Amino acid sequence: MVGLSPLFQKFERKIIFLLLIAFPIITAAVRAAAVERVEGVAAQVGSEIVLLSEVQKMAAPIALKLLEQGGTIEDLVKTHEQALDRLIEQALIRQVIRQAELSASDSEIDAAIAGIAGDNNITASELRTSVEKQGLSFSEYREKIGDELEQHKVIQGMVMSKIRIDEEELKTIYENEYAQETGEGLEVQISQILIPREADSEACDKVRAARERVVAGEPFPLVASQTSYVNPNGGGSLGWTSVSDLIGWMRDLAETLPPGAMSEVVELPHACSVLVVTDRRDASERSFSDVRDKIARAVRRERSDEQYRLFIDDMRSRTYIDRRTTFKPEDFRISNE
């Protein structure tokens, strides 16, 4: 039997993932051990393949967190299935980029980088120095910006362009949800650095490092533009948001942090994050003009999610996809030994 790594052994509950196709161990802890693996194909998407090792890399940090929180085998199966789904979606989007010739040009990347530097009141040279101090080569940074631009092009062209919002509809929502509000109401302007565990196995370490850069004097928007998965082009800004609309952990921070203050690193099951509250205001008895943009953003967000799912479903129906791996409960074993 393959031995467990020391990191893995610190947990009282242990997991072994036993795929019949000889991919023996799939947890973040064991991934660090010296285990010989046999590579396999998890799925074929058009001309691309998704490897089991890619599924492992994406799912392992979440699986490890689930172990810490007493996750079940069903949770682990779902985590690996979701990771494979996400990798298939990424492959589909890459094919759209190639087929529609949406690749980011050097001039577009240059313009985006110049914009990031300008938004943070630094020169392009200073931005490059900041990037390289973080151990990322400037060519890798340019590649990351290019990927973000290409993703943005796909979303704008294939998803957002299909969304229509009628002004009368916004006014109806205002009358139903805002016009009668009186008394209390607090809105905060928040910026966020967030890195999903599925995207980076060192998510929390990288968020901590990002926070230390801000503490050391770097502008939060600059650091967020280089590290955050939330609106990097906007410096991680979430705009004005009603405190009552925030999820629990964000609401607690928004209510307690004074303007300009930054939170500690928050470790969540699926991501790590740090917030800064840039401003706050009383939002009671708001007029339509006060909340019109907020309502429009909420409607656009809801419809963009719907359109994105329709877009992905359409791509799936028109693309050859051979899902060669199905994760089953019997592929896992959790013991207390």
Containing H/E element for 272? Answer: strand 271-282
Structure confidence at residue 37 as a pLDDT band (50, 70, 90): very low
Q: What is the largest CA-CA distance in the chain?
A: 67
Residue that wins the pLDDT comparison between 85 and 67: 85
| pLDDT of 51 strictly over 70 | yes
Measured CA to CA, the distance from residue 150 to residue 158 in angstroms comes to 12
| pLDDT of 14 strictly over 60 | no
Radius of gyration, alpha carbons of the chain: 22
Structure confidence at residue 240 as a pLDDT band (50, 70, 90): confident
Helix 73-99 to helix 138-154 angle (10° resolution) is 90
The backbone region for 306, taken as left when phi is positive above 0, alpha when psi lies in -120 to 50, beta otherwise, is alpha
Give the total residue count for the chain.
Answer: 337
Residue-wise pLDDT tens digits, 304-322: 888 888 888 999 999 999 9
Q: Are 97 and 324 in contact (CB under 8 A)?
A: no
Task: State the average pLDDT over residues 257-276.
Answer: 89
- In three-state form (DSSP H/G/I as H, E/B as E, the rest C), the secondary structure along 48-112 is EEEEHHHHHHHHHHHHHHHHHCCCCHHHHHHHHHHHHHHHHHHHHHHHHHHHCCCCCCHHHHHHH
Residue 88 corresponds to which tokens in the numbers above? 């298939």
| pLDDT of 274 strictly over 50 | yes
Q: Which fold has domain 182-285?
A: Chitinase A; domain 3 (3.10.50)
pLDDT (0 to 100) of residue 304: 85
Residue 33 corresponds to which tokens in the numbers above? 């051990």
Q: How many C-beta atoms surround the C-beta of residue 44 within 10 A? A: 17
pLDDT (0 to 100) of residue 198: 76
Best CA proximity match to 329, nearest among 134, 71, 76 = 76
Listed range (10-24, 61-75, 111-125, 133-147) with the worst mean pLDDT: 10-24
Q: Are 58 and 119 in contact (CB under 8 A)?
A: no
Buried b (16+ CB within 10 A) or exposed e, 126-151: ebbebbeeeeeeeeebbeebbebbbb
Task: State the average pLDDT over residues 254-282.
Answer: 88
Task: Tell me the torsion sign for CA atoms 196, 202, 205, 206.
Answer: negative
| pLDDT of 271 strictly over 70 | yes
Domain boundaries, the chain: 6-100+321-335, 182-285
Task: State the average pLDDT over residues 222-245.
Answer: 84
Considering the chain, what percentage of its residues have pLDDT values greater than 70? Answer: 84
Task: State the average pLDDT over residues 162-168.
Answer: 88
Considering the chain, what percentage of its residues have pLDDT values greater than 90? Answer: 18
Computed over every residue of the chain, the mean pLDDT equals 79
- Chain centroid to CA 170: 29
